[in-house]
Every structure is written in C-alpha cells, then in structure tokens.
Structure 1
Amino acid sequence: MAQNFFTEIKIPQKKFFEGLVFPKILSPNPRNSVEFHSLTDAIKDQKPWLDSVLHQHGAILFRGFSVSTAADFNNVVEAFGYEELPYVGGAAPRTNVVGRVFTANESPPDQKIPFHHEMAQVPEYPSKLFFFCEVEPVNGGETPIVLSHVVYERMKEKYPDFVQNLEEHGLIYTRVLGEEDDPSSPIGRGWKSTFLTNEKSVAEERAAKLNMKLEWTEDGVKTIMGPIPAIKFDKTRQRKIWFNSMVAAYTGWKDARNDPVKAVTFGDGKPLPSHIIYDCLRILEDESVAIPWQKGDVLLIDNLAVLHSRRPFASPRRVLASLCK
C-alpha cells in the first residue's frame, strides 16, 4: 500500500481547488513497515497510484527523500518510466548534466520567468516535467505553479470575448534567435541548440516538422510559429485549459533581439490588448502556489494541468529539470 511508504505533509502555501489540495506533498512515512531502499524503489512499486495522484492533483512535491545529486534525480525520473522528450524548439538556455537531466532556464537570477506551459508555443510539448533542487536558494527562486483550468475559467468569466477570440484564432509566436546561446536572456537559446544542429538545412527540416517558419538574417533567424491553439481541451479530465505562453511572451520575451509586444499576436495577426494580458498575469499570480525550495525536493508537474514560472533569487541556486513525452 502507498501509505506504507508515503505520507502526506501539510505546508502553509498549499491551496484547495474543488476540495483537492494543490500540490500534493509526499514525504517518507516514519512508520514505514515496508522495506524500500529508496524513493526509486517506492516509485516503481507504487507507479499506478502515483500516476492517479498526479492526474487528480496536477502536481506532486516529493520532500524529505534521499535525493542529493543529479544522478539520483535521473534515477527518480527513469523510475517513472515516462519516455524522454528531446528539447527541440524551446526557448530557454539549458545544459545537459547527466542522462535525461538538464539545467533549468539559465537566465540571470535577477530575472523573473513568467508563467507558461512548457513549450506551449510549439506542437510537440512534454506531458510531464520534473524539477529537482540540487542547491537550495539563499532567498527567492521559487517555482510558482497554477492550475490551468482555473485560469481558463477566471479569464472566460471576466473576458469572454477575448477568450472566444483566442479559441477561434489561436496565437502566433515570433522570436528572433542568434546563432549561439545568449546566457543573459531568458529566451536566449540560439538556433543551433534550439534545433540541435549546426546545419541550416537540418534546422529548416526540424522547424518544418513543427510547422514553424524560418526567416534567416545576417546573424540569426526569425522563427514564426502559428497560428497555434491557445486553449486546449484536456480529454482525460474533460475540461478546457489555458494552454499557451501568451503572458510569458508578452511580458518576458525581451532581449537585444526581441520586443515582447511583437512576440505574440492573435492568430489573425491582430495585436493583443495589453490591459487584459497584465490582468491575466495578476490572475495567474493570485491563483498560484509558491513553495520555497528545499535541497532534495523533486517536483513532478502534469504539463497539461499546470503552468509554472520562476521568481528572481539570490545565488547560489541550482534547480535541474527533465522533460517527458
């Protein structure tokens, strides 16, 4: 039984939606009567139960387990048995650490990363995300999370015409990439690492598979994605979700090459209303849960159910990630 190994803990940041706690926080049961040697053993033994918990609550935080290194984290990810998703088309600078584990967005610590579903701006996105706190931040650096269907319902209630436009037309995302990664930018991934190639022809092939248009410039490329849906229907939960990177693009895709106001438009090319975007950002913040990281924390997110972001922080902080199909 799962309760023989896991016990649910309560923390002040948790919230309840429709009677369900968000997120679900699991720790080792001090009265464990079953001989599990590690979290990975428990995951393998309780995989169906953990899958059902994730589906019901949208996110699980594993806290207090013996997960201390990137290799330990890689073992946890592999224990779940989800297929790996290559990071093709994403915007964030990342570095492979070990196995299926990468650094999370490497943008400077003073920069906030706005709410988004991982890779919502491309057709092939992960269904699951793992985060792991290897080095606990001095202060700040939380990864706030928010339930997507809650955001959809609040936006639909307040801005029905805007949401209808999104449902009818979708969104177009435009981003200008340099050749190499720009670590000073939260969207600074160069085209070579974005498409995992040094060849323009291969990049064009991989972009075409994503239905992404490329316009080459002297020192980089403009990528145009869309129209792509901004609202999806989550069939497994029978509800609509706010599945897009609209707020992230409009408020955060800013660097030497990119103007965030031009980064995202309605699918028919019309500009988005600024006041609604910023009100959506407020709603995201209002409904979110931000739990301070502790060393060894592993956060599992259902990417169809939950958006995430990153708050600024004081170094050192090292959070690793893994993406799954």
Structure 2
Amino acid sequence: MSAGPVRRARRTTVEPVTTSFLDGDFGMVVESRFPELDLVSHLTANRERVTEHLDRHGAVLFRGFSVPDPDHFGRAARVVGPELLGYLERAAPRTEVADKVFTSTEFASDQTIPLHHEMSYSHNWPSRLYFYCDLPAETGGATPLADERAVTPRIPAEVRERFRRHGVLYVRNYGDALDLPWQEVFQSTDRADVEAYCRQSATDFEWTGDGGLRTRAVRQVTARHPRTGEEVWFNHVHLFHSSNMPPEVREALLREYGPEGLPRNVYYGDGTPIEDEVAALLRGLYEEAAVSFPWRRGDVLMVDNFLATHGRGPFTGERRTLVAMSDLYVNRDVL
C-alpha cells in the first residue's frame, strides 16, 4: 500500500517590520516586530531605502527597535549621516550628552515651541535631524511635525513675492539680560573668533554695552531641496517675530529696549517691519498642518529639514529627547 506523496510544510517568513504613516503619505512609521532588533543593524542593511523614504515622506519614525542609550542613538544617526554636526550660532540652550548628541531645546516645560525648520535663520543648516526619546514626559511633550509640501503652496502669493523681493532681516541681541550669551551662541569666549564667523557669514555685528553683541543678517526666504529640487518656504519669520512673545512680555521689552533691542526680531530684508498679521498667518498655517504622535521610550525620529518642520508641545514630569544633526547645507546665495 503506497503511502502517497510526501507533503512538505510551507515555511512562512515574518517580515521584521511593519510600515504605516502619520498622515496620508507624510511621515512613515517603521515598527519592529522584535524588540531585540538592533536599529544600527537595520539601518546599515537598509540605508539607501531609508534615505529614499526621507526624500519621499519627509520624516521616518523608527519604533520598537533596540536603542539602549544615547551613544547607540549616535551610532544609528551616523549610519544615515556619517558626519554629525556641532551646534554653532545657537538659538536655544542645549547640552552635549554624547559625541555630537545634544539635548533638545531646553525651554520651560510649560512653553510651546512653534513648528520651524532647524536653523533656517542662518546661512547654513543641517539637512537631516535625528531625535531620540530617552525618557517620555508624564503628559504632553510631543514633537509635532508639519509637511512643508502642504504649507508652502498655501502661503498667499503676495506674501511670498514681497519676501522674495527683499529677503528676511534677522536682528539678534545677545547677553545675559536678554537672549543667550554670545559665548554660548558661538561656542567661544574670544571676540576675534566671533567677528571672524560674522564676516565669513555676511553678518553685520556691533559690540554693545555690558559685554553684549548685536547682529544683523539678511537671509533666505525659501530653499531648494538638494536632491528633489523642490522649493520650500524656509525661514524663522513666524518664530523670531516679536508677536511670538506673550503680549505683556513684548510690550515690556519694547518699552525697555525698543524694536532694535529685542532679543530677537525679524524684518523684511529692506528693514521694513513685518506686519503682525503676516507672522500670525504663517504660524497658523503650520499649526493647521501639524501632525503629532506620543513619544515612546527608544523611539528614533529622522526628519528631512527641508521637507518637514518640527516643534515641541508643553509637558509635565521629566522629559529627555535628544537630537543629532547631519549633512550641512551652505546657502552660497546669501554670502
């Protein structure tokens, strides 16, 4: 009696990750099915695919992978951007906790940081950002994102054209009583170093009383993505505009120091004040486009700094989100 043909059991292969999106086609989420899956190894095997996802989707969130500490996070970031960047011409206090790995903006926990492109007030900036959730907040503390491809087309043509004609003028005053000390911003205690940086970056400067420093620089309104060729809105107008302050703080500082003496202010490139309504319009467009997710410990978020803006929500409890940056882009048009 024949036993008949032998049937072999089929082997099924389980994909190690699943993918989804934060909003439509924006913000890919790559989630590991296996908590022991090392993020550095995964990125090494999929580096080209990850960079393609960043160009297409603006941001990629890696969740559920093994990322045990800040050093490991730094190694993961270096797979995509081998040369991590320092942080010069700072706009916020940060602490370096590992090699080229910093704390995210150390502002008070009850404050909201509006959506923005990292260092879009400068002549150079990182093309890619990397965030790591070392400790999620008790409540809140999200890092919202907005798709610049959705925001730029919604900016009224007359607003875009006026800025394009003149550029954006940033005026900053550094000092202990106002903004960050210039020694922290430029990471030097030597005035000659600061002066050399300002000259090299087409920044006007003057030393003011009590060891202060004032700078003035005309910068870009838009930027062109180095790989996709897309032109996107790229500046700090809505963030540095004095209307971004609480009204009572703004009024007190204006009475004390005047418009030119504010810690930070921004004008049309010809020096004409930017209307409050224009700054509010821009802030509103980013707020309307914002998408958010609750941080989980070990999450790593990669952001294309041209294609997406990021911010921070208020929070309670302890929170530690770290950041690294790579792929320095220099805008030669403003130099």
Cα 1:37–1:150 shift into 2, 3 Å: closer
User: Do the aligned partners of 2:85 and 2:100 also contact (CA within 8 Å) in 1?
Assistant: no
User: Do the aligned partners of 1:213 and 1:225 also contact (CA within 8 Å) in 2?
Assistant: yes
Residues 1:263 and 2:265 aligned together: yes
The amino acid of 1:148's aligned partner reads E
How many residues align? The count is 301
Q: Which 5+ residue runs of structure 1 have no aligned equivalent?
A: none
Q: SS state of the match for residue 54, structure 1?
A: helix
Residue of structure 2 equivalent to 1:124: 124
Q: Encode CA deviations 1:130-165: one digit per residue, 9 max, x unaligned.
A: 11111111111111111223211001xxx2111101
User: Do the aligned partners of 2:27 and 2:58 also contact (CA within 8 Å) in 1?
Assistant: yes
The amino acid of 2:45's aligned partner reads D
1:117 to partner: Cα distance: 0.7
User: Do the aligned partners of 1:152 and 1:241 also contact (CA within 8 Å) in 2?
Assistant: yes
Residues 1:224 and 2:212 aligned together: no
Cα 1:194–1:295 shift into 2, 3 Å: same
Residue of structure 2 equivalent to 1:322: 324
1:235-314 → structure 2 map (5 Å cutoff): 235-250=226-241, 251-252=243-244, 259=262, 263-314=265-316
Q: 1:172 pairs with 155, 169, 172, which one? A: 169
1:235 to partner: Cα distance: 4.8
User: Do the aligned partners of 1:166 and 1:231 also contact (CA within 8 Å) in 2?
Assistant: no
Residue of structure 2 equivalent to 1:72: 72
Distance 1:210 1:313 in 2: 36
User: Do the aligned partners of 2:78 and 2:84 also contact (CA within 8 Å) in 1?
Assistant: no
Q: 1:212 pairs with 203, 211, 236, which one? A: 203
1:115 to partner: Cα distance: 1.7
Seq. identity, %: 29
1:253 to partner: Cα distance: 6.4
User: Do the aligned partners of 2:137 and 2:319 also contact (CA within 8 Å) in 1?
Assistant: yes
Distance 1:235 1:108 in 2: 35
Q: Encode CA deviations 1:265-297: one digit per residue, 9 max, x unaligned.
A: 100111112112212211111111111111111
Q: 1:28 pairs with 32, 35, 39, which one? A: 32
1:195 to partner: Cα distance: 1.2
Q: SS state of the match for residue 90, structure 1?
A: coil
Q: SS state of the match for residue 263, structure 1?
A: strand
Q: Which moved more, 1:74-83 or 1:286-295?
A: 74-83
Please say which structure displays the higher CA radius of gyration. 2
Q: SS state of the match for residue 295, structure 1?
A: coil
Distance 1:236 1:58 in 2: 12
1:5 to partner: Cα distance: 3.5
Q: SS state of the match for residue 125, structure 1?
A: strand
Q: SS state of the match for residue 232, structure 1?
A: strand
Q: SS state of the match for residue 267, structure 2?
A: strand
Residue of structure 2 equivalent to 1:139: 139
The alignment's TM-score, normalised by the length of structure 1, stands at 0.86
The amino acid of 1:175's aligned partner reads R
Distance 2:308 2:132 in 1: 17
Q: Which moved more, 1:53-62 or 1:81-90?
A: 81-90
Residue of structure 1 equivalent to 2:17: 6
Residues 1:45 and 2:45 aligned together: yes
1:232 to partner: Cα distance: 2.0
The alignment's TM-score, normalised by the length of structure 2, stands at 0.84
Distance 1:294 1:54 in 2: 21
Cα 1:316–1:37 shift into 2, 3 Å: closer
The amino acid of 2:215's aligned partner reads T
Distance 1:76 1:273 in 2: 43
User: Do the aligned partners of 2:117 and 2:306 also contact (CA within 8 Å) in 1?
Assistant: yes
1:98 to partner: Cα distance: 0.7
Q: Which moved more, 1:268-277 or 1:94-103?
A: 268-277
User: Do the aligned partners of 1:145 and 1:306 also contact (CA within 8 Å) in 2?
Assistant: yes
User: Do the aligned partners of 1:118 and 1:125 also contact (CA within 8 Å) in 2?
Assistant: yes
User: Do the aligned partners of 2:86 and 2:100 also contact (CA within 8 Å) in 1?
Assistant: no
Distance 1:277 1:195 in 2: 27
Q: 2:188 pairs with 170, 191, 197, which one? A: 197
Q: Which 5+ residue runs of structure 2 have no aligned equivalent?
A: 1-13, 328-335
Distance 1:235 1:303 in 2: 11
Residue of structure 2 equivalent to 1:148: 148
